[in-house]
Amino acid sequence: MKSLVFYQGEPGSFSEEAAQVYFRASASLRPCAQFRDVFRLVSLSRHHSGIVPIENTVFGSIHETYDLLLKHPVSVVGELSLRIRLNLLALPGTRLRDVRRIYSQPQALGQCEDFLRRMEGVEVHAFHDTAAAARMIREEKLRGAAAIAGTRAGRRYRLSVLKQGIETNRRNFTRFIVISRSKVIPVKHPKTSLVFATRDTPGALFKALAVFAMRDLNLLKIESRPLIGRPWEYLFYLDVEGSPDDLPLKQALNHLRELSIFIKVLGTYERSASAA
C-alpha cells in the first residue's frame, strides 16, 4: 500500500508537481484546501507525509508555513527547489487580443508583473490557486478570460497556451519542504532547520549566532517572526549546514540552549539541488 502525501492546492498545481517530482511513484497524492490541513493530516500518522512551499526566490518566505512548523508535531525530512514557469492559459480558440480578464494566485500575478503591465485594458483578479483559476475557466467556459498557471494545469483542464514563460524573473524558484512525524538521518549533505528565541538583552542575537561562527558552521538562512504574546520580541528561524549528530553542530546547539529562552530543532534532512 502506498503512503499518503498531502499537498496544498488543486490537481495541476505546482505543489502537486513538487510532490510528484520528490516522491515519484512511491506515494499516493492528496490535495488539501489549506496549509493547516496538510499539517493536521500529517500529524495524525507516522505513515503520512506532506509537502508545502516555504519560500520563493522572488517573493521571499511563506510565513504561514513557518508558523505551522512551530505549532505541529512534525519534522522537516526533505526539500525540493522547483523552477516555476508560468503561462497564460485560455479556452481553445481564444486569441491573446481577446483576453479581458486574467485570474491567478496573488504571488503568481506578482511574478508576472512586467507581462501584465503590457496587457492594456485587462482586469487582473486574484484567485486562491493557480490550478483552481485554470479549472474555473474550463468549468465555467469563460470566454475572454485567461489564467496564469503552469503547463500541468493547462494539460489537465484542456486549455490552450496563449503565451509561455511570462514570469518576469527567469530564476524563479520555489523551495518546498517535506514534513513527516517520522524523522530521517540524511546520508549526505545534511542540513538542519531550527527555531529559537533569545533573552531581551543587548547583544543577545549576536551571541546566539556566534555559537555557529566559532565552530565554522555555515548558516544558510535566518528569518525572524513575531513571538506571539510578547509584543516586539521575535523568534528566529535558522538553516545551518550539518547534523546534530556531528560534534560541531551538537556543541553549537548545546551552547545555544544556554543562551536562549526557547529552542526547537525542526528537522535534519538532505540538502537538495534545484529541479529545473
Q: What is the CATH number of the domain that holds 123?
A: 3.40.190.10
154 and 102 within one domain: yes
Tell me: do 268 and 196 sit in the same domain: yes
Q: Confirm whether 14 is a catalytic residue.
A: no
Query: Are 149 and 31 within one domain?
Result: no
Q: Are residues 72 and 176 in the same domain?
A: yes
- Same domain membership, residue 206 and residue 176: no
| 256 and 127 in a common domain | no
145 and 217 fall within a common domain: no
Same domain, 198 and 154: no
Verify that 71 and 138 share a domain, yes or no.
Answer: no
Give the end-to-end CA distance of the chain in Å, rounded to a whole number: 30
Query: pTM of this prediction?
Result: 0.92
Higher pLDDT, 69 or 273: 69
Give pLDDT, residue 273. Answer: 60
- Residue 27 located in a structural domain: yes
Domains held by the chain: number: 3
- Let me know if residue 260 belongs to a domain: yes
Spell out the residues 6+ positions from residue 176 whose beta carbon is closer than 8 angstroms to its own.
15, 18, 22, 51, 52, 53, 54, 79, 80, 81, 82
**Stretch 180-204: mean pLDDT, rounded?**
92
Residue 56 sits in the same domain as residue 176 = yes
pLDDT band at 232 (very low <50, low <70, confident <90, very high): confident
Domain assignment present for 185: no
How much is the pLDDT for 274? 56
CB within 8 A of 95, min separation 6: which ones? 162
Per-residue confidence (pLDDT) for residue 137, from 0 to 100: 97
Phi then psi dihedrals of residue 200, to 5 deg: -85, 70
Identify whether the C-beta of residue 89 lies closer than 8 Å to the C-beta of residue 149. yes
**91 and 41 within one domain:** no
User: Is 174 an active-site residue?
Assistant: yes
CATH number at residue 254: 3.30.70.260
Catalytic residue among 6, 127, 173, 176: 176
Catalytic residue among 174, 192, 198, 268: 174
For residue 27, the model assigns a pLDDT of 82
Which range marks the domain in which residue 223 is found? 190-275
Based on the domain organization, do 176 and 47 belong to the same domain?
Answer: yes
**pLDDT value at position 110?**
93
pLDDT score recorded for residue 1 = 56
pLDDT at 47: 87
**In this predicted model, what pLDDT tens digit does every residue of 7-51 receive, in sequence order?**
999 999 999 999 999 998 778 999 999 999 999 999 998 889 999
- Grid cell for residue 226: 513575531
